[in-house]
Amino acid sequence: MALLELNNVHTYYGHIHALKGISVTVEQGEIVTLIGSNGAGKSTTLRTISGLLTPRHGQVMLAGKRIDRVPPHDIVHMGISHSPEGRRIFPNLSVMENLELGAYIHSAYSPEFEDDLDRVLTMFPRLRERIRQKGGTLSGGEQQMLAIGRALMSRPRVLLLDEPSMGLAPVIVEQIFEIIQDINRQGTTILLVEQNALMSLSIAHRGYVLQSGEIVLEDSARNLQENETVQKAYLGVD
Ligand SMILES: Nc1ncnc2c1ncn2[C@@H]1O[C@H](COP(=O)(O)OP(=O)(O)OP(=O)(O)O)[C@@H](O)[C@H]1O
Ligand SMILES: [Mg+2]
């Protein structure tokens, strides 16, 4: 049984048919990437998994249990955490307060909280140095680290990452992607949405290509890297 499974999912915004029957599986321990251009439906897919949107047809399953009618906060409790597009951190709250909000499923200052905080700050030493600084005064890369760190504070089984490379310099993107790999090696399953297909295919095990709300290709990351259509459309290869 896959850890996460989307089965023929259709999601709408009013009359806009954004996901047109997509099926995606993510096995325990994998990094799976969803690539596609602007408006393809990548963020909509993550919002549908985390319960922010309810699909009109189809099912979303976590470890065999249907979650597509479960409210978002209960989905966090069940083990799915979402780091949204555009790093929605709280600019007027400190780094520490942002991390505390991510940990809301544990009682504050419980032993779990201290352990999780230490794990996140070890992963992101820059956040430890800036623990009292306001989120809004962090650099773009640091804000992305905070967004990922906050998502990790609920100890997710599945981490949903929406465009962690957006707006960051290549050297920072490399660092963030190394950390994503570390998070995965430590046991967290990852669904990674990216426009930067070059980077995401370099760390993913498998991938899906989404186009206008439909999955048009699915394969191992290596095969996708070598696929001519993917190279032309998403890897900038002529
Ligand atoms: N709140 C909304 N209301 C109406 N339509 C929306 C809304 N959010 C997204 N859409 C539409 O749904 C489709 C998929 O959008 P989505 O944000 O999932 O794309 P994406 O693949 O994440 O794109 P990007 O790479 O630009 O982030 C687009 O056509 C978009 O215009
Ligand atoms: Mg998006």
Residues 18-46 have pLDDT tens digits of 999 999 999 999 999 999 999 999 999 99
Q: Six-digit token pair at 106?
A: 């544990």
125 Cβ contact list (under 8 Å, min separation 6): none
Residue 7 pairs with which residues in a beta bridge?
59
Residues with CB under 5 Å of ion ligand 2 are: 42-43, 85
Domain count across the chain: 1
CB 128 within 8 A of CB 120: no
109 has pLDDT over 70: no
For residue 162, which ligand has an atom nearest its CA?
A: 2
Containing structural domain, residue 110: 4-234
Per-residue pLDDT at 197? 92
Residues with CB under 6 A from ligand 1: 13, 16, 18, 36, 38-44, 85, 195
**Lowest mean pLDDT segment, chosen from 103-117, 164-178, 191-205, 215-229:** 103-117
Per-residue pLDDT at 88? 84
Q: What is the CATH number of the domain that holds 86?
A: 3.40.50.300
Residue ranges of alpha helices (H) inside the chain are 42-49, 72-78, 95-102, 111-123, 125-129, 140-152, 170-185, 197-203, 221-226, 228-234
CB 138 within 8 A of CB 160: no
